[in-house]
Chains A and B, each alone.
Chain A
Amino acid sequence: MRGREEEFLEGVWKKAAEKEQMLRAAEVLLSETAAPDFAGFMKDAFVNIGVKQLYAGMAGIISIAFVITVLSAYLLLQVMLDKGESIYAAAFCSAPFLYAGVFVLSWIKERGSGCYELQMSCKYTFFHVLAARMLGECFLGFVFNGMYATALALRYRADGIRLFAVSFSSLMLFSLLFATGLLWGGGIRKALYCCGGWFLANLLFLLFAPDFYGRLLQELPVLLFIGTGVCGICLHMRQLVSITALTFRKEYTNAANTRCY
Chain B
Amino acid sequence: MLQIQDVTKNYQNFVALAHINLEFENGIYGLLAPNGAGKTTLLKLITTLLFPTEGKILYDGVEIRKLDALYREKLGFLPQDFGYYREYTPEKYLHYIGVLKGMERKVLQDKIEQMLELVGLAEQKNKKMKKFSGGMIQRVGIAQALLNDPQILVLDEPTAGLDPGERMRFRKILTSLSKDKTVLLSTHIVSDVEFIANHIVMLKDKKVHCNDTVENICKKLEGSIFETVVEEEALSCWEERYQVVSRRREGRDIVIRFISRSGKQEWQPVKPGLEDVFLFLYGKE
Question: Taking beta carbons and an 8 Å cutoff, which residues of A are in contact with B?
Answer: 19, 23, 26-27, 30, 34, 48-50, 53, 56-57, 113-125, 128-129, 246, 250, 253-254, 257-261
Cβ of B277 to closest chain A Cβ, rounded Å? 26
Known: A50-B99, A118-B144, A121-B75. A254 touches B50 (CB 8 A): yes
Instruction: Given A113-B83, A115-B84, A118-B77, answer yes or no on A123-B101 (Cβ-Cβ < 8 Å).
Output: yes
Asked whether, in the complex, the Cβ of A120 is within 8 Å of the Cβ of B100, the reply is no
User: A114 is contacted by which of B12, B65, B81 (Cβ under 8 Å)?
Assistant: B81
Interchain CB contact under 8 A, B83 and A114: yes
* Segment at the A interface, from B66-74, B166-174, B187-195: B66-74
Contact residue among B61, B70, B101 (Cβ-Cβ distance under 8 Å from A122)? B101
Given A49-B99, A246-B68, is A23 in contact with B61 using a C-beta cutoff of 8 Å? yes
Q: Which residues of A contact B16 (CB under 8 A)?
A: 260
Q: B73 touching A123 by the CB < 8 A rule?
A: yes
Q: Is the CB of A27 within 8 A of B96?
A: no
List of A residues within 8 angstroms of B86 by Cβ = 113
Q: Is B92 an interface residue when CB atoms closer than 8 A count as contact?
A: yes
Neighbouring A residues of B81 by C-beta, 8 Å: 114, 117
Question: Can you list 22 pairs linking A and B with CB atoms under 8 Å apart?
Answer: A19-B61, A56-B92, A114-B81, A117-B49, A117-B79, A117-B81, A117-B83, A118-B82, A118-B83, A118-B144, A121-B48, A123-B101, A124-B99, A246-B68, A253-B49, A253-B51, A254-B51, A257-B11, A257-B44, A258-B11, A259-B11, A260-B11
The docked-state distance in angstroms from the alpha carbon of A31 to that of B187 is 37
B: number of interface residues (CB 8 Å): 43
Contact of A121 among B47, B51, B62, B85 (CB under 8 A): B47
Smallest CB-CB A-B distances: 3 pairs: A114-B83, A123-B102, A115-B83
Q: CB-nearest residue of chain B relative to A48?
A: B102
A258 and B92 within 8 A (CB)? no
**Bound CA–CA A114/B84 (angstroms):** 7
Q: Does B23 contact A (CB under 8 A)?
A: no
Q: Which of B62, B75, B102 makes the CB contact (< 8 A) with A30?
A: B62
B39-73: which have CB < 8 Å to A?
Answer: 40, 44, 47-51, 60-62, 65-70, 72-73
Whether the Cβ atoms of A57 and B85 lie closer than 8 Å is yes
Cβ contacts under 8 Å, B11 to chain A: 257-260
Most chain A CB neighbours (cut-off 10 Å) among B67, B72, B83: B83
Chain B residues whose CB sits within 8 angstroms of the CB of A113 once the complex forms: 83-86
Binding site for A on B (CB under 8 A): 11-12, 14, 16, 40, 44, 47-51, 60-62, 65-70, 72-73, 75, 77, 79, 81-88, 92, 95-97, 99-102, 144, 154
* A125→B61 CA distance, assembly (Å): 23
Is the beta-carbon distance between A23 and B62 smaller than 8 angstroms?
yes
State whether A119 touches B100 (Cβ < 8 A).
yes
Q: CA of A120 to CA of B97 in the docked complex: distance in angstroms?
A: 11
| Chain B residue with the shortest CB-CB distance to A257 | B50
Q: How far is the CA of A258 from the CA of B84 in the complex (A)?
A: 24
Which residues in A have their C-beta under 8 angstroms from that of B62?
23, 26-27, 30
When C-beta atoms are compared, the residue in chain A nearest to B103 turns out to be A123
Q: Is A258 a contact of B12 with CB atoms below 8 Å?
A: yes
A123 touching B83, Cβ below 8 Å: no
Q: How far is the CA of A229 from the CA of B62 in the complex (A)?
A: 42
Whole-angstrom CA separation of A143 from B12 in the bound complex: 45
- Given A117-B77, A120-B47, 19 additional A-B pairs, CB 8 A: A19-B61, A34-B66, A48-B102, A53-B100, A57-B85, A113-B86, A114-B84, A115-B84, A117-B44, A117-B49, A118-B144, A122-B72, A122-B97, A123-B102, A125-B100, A129-B100, A246-B68, A254-B51, A259-B11
Contacts of A50 in B (CB 8 A): 99
Contact assessment for B99 and A120 in the assembled complex, using a CB-CB cutoff below 8 Å = no
In the complex, are the beta carbons of B65 and A246 less than 8 A apart?
Answer: yes
Residues of chain A within 8 A of B47, CB atoms compared: 120-121
